[in-house]
């Protein structure tokens, strides 16, 4: 069980790093290379950015739950 959660933490951490790097910053970002630069003026942010935000939040929640579970398992 501990090994499975540890692997999930490692995967979630790597995915979180990738997703944060893909976000568009003040001067652009890596997301411009993958189509994130096509933003509309009406919505404030593109569909790609909104989906990237959702994926980042979900990945962060999974990472947080895995860290708490791992801490509780190792405490015993």
pLDDT digits (tens, 9 = 90+) for 15-59: 999 999 988 776 555 656 666 555 544 445 688 888 999 999 999
Q: For position 29, what pLDDT does the model report?
A: 58
Tokens linked to 46: 């593109």
Round to whole Å and give the CA distance between 29 and 41: 18
pTM (two decimals): 0.72
What kind and span of H or E run contains 30? none
Round to whole Å and give the CA distance between 38 and 41: 10
Give, as one character, the DSSP assignment of residue 25. Answer: B
Give, as one character, the DSSP assignment of residue 32. Answer: G
């Amino acid at each position: 069980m501990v090994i499975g959660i540890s692997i999930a933490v490692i995967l979630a951490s790597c995915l979180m790093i990738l997703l944060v790097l893909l976000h568009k910053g003040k001067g652009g970002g890596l997301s411009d290379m993958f189509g994130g630069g096509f933003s509309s003026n009406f919505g404030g942010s593109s569909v790609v950015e909104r989906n990237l935000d959702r994926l980042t939040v979900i990945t962060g929640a999974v990472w947080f739950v895995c860290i708490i579970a791992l801490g509780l398992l190792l405490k015993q």
